[in-house]
Amino acid sequence: MVMSVSLAASVAIFCVILFGRHLLRRWRHHRRITTASMPRDSPNPGLAPSTIASLPTFAYQKAIDRSGNATSVQCAVCLGQAQEGEMVRLLPKCKHVFHVECINVWLYSHSTCPLCRSDVVDSPKVAKKVEDGEASAPPELPV
């Protein structure tokens, strides 16, 4: 009687251990998939949100050229003219100007100027990597 009870107990413990290892393996497998599917090495690198936010922004004011005519700036993203007082963003390297909302959307998936295709900032990949490190979520806990 005592023998059979202890046998049953050890079988039960064995089952619990097996099941626990099975869960752990599934969890590790799940984590590996989650990590692999992160857009870390995306072939379509945009700029980090912090990099986009660091680009100079100002309220657009029409410049007056030498002949006294107001020069207007066309946003190459929406093809609309920048209006007096509208918030625009200047790309520091090529000096092209766009609406803030237009260039923000563009830069989430591109790291180059939509007009002249030159790099918006130096080595955008490094900036992106730093942002990823800061923004990485804590690892998922098993349910």
Which residues lie near Zn ion (CB under 5 A)?
Answer: 75, 77-78, 94, 96, 99, 102, 113, 115-116
Among residues 27 and 62, whose Cβ is nearest to Zn ion?
A: 62
- In the complex, least distance from residue 60 CB atom to Zn ion, rounded to whole angstroms: 11
Structure tokens at 77: 């993203």
Indicate the DSSP class of residue 96: -
3-state DSSP call for residue 64? strand
Among residues 86 and 131, whose Cβ is nearest to Zn ion?
A: 86
Among residues 59 and 116, whose Cβ is nearest to Zn ion?
A: 116
3-state DSSP call for residue 112? strand
Let me know the angle formed at the C-alpha of 79 by 53 and 84, rounded to the nearest 5 degrees.
Answer: 65
- In the complex, least distance from residue 130 CB atom to Zn ion, rounded to whole angstroms: 24
Among residues 45 and 115, whose Cβ is nearest to Zn ion?
A: 115
Nearest CA-CA partner of 54 in 139, 122, 138, 133: 122
Burial class (CB in 10 A: 0-12, 13-18, 19+), 94: middle
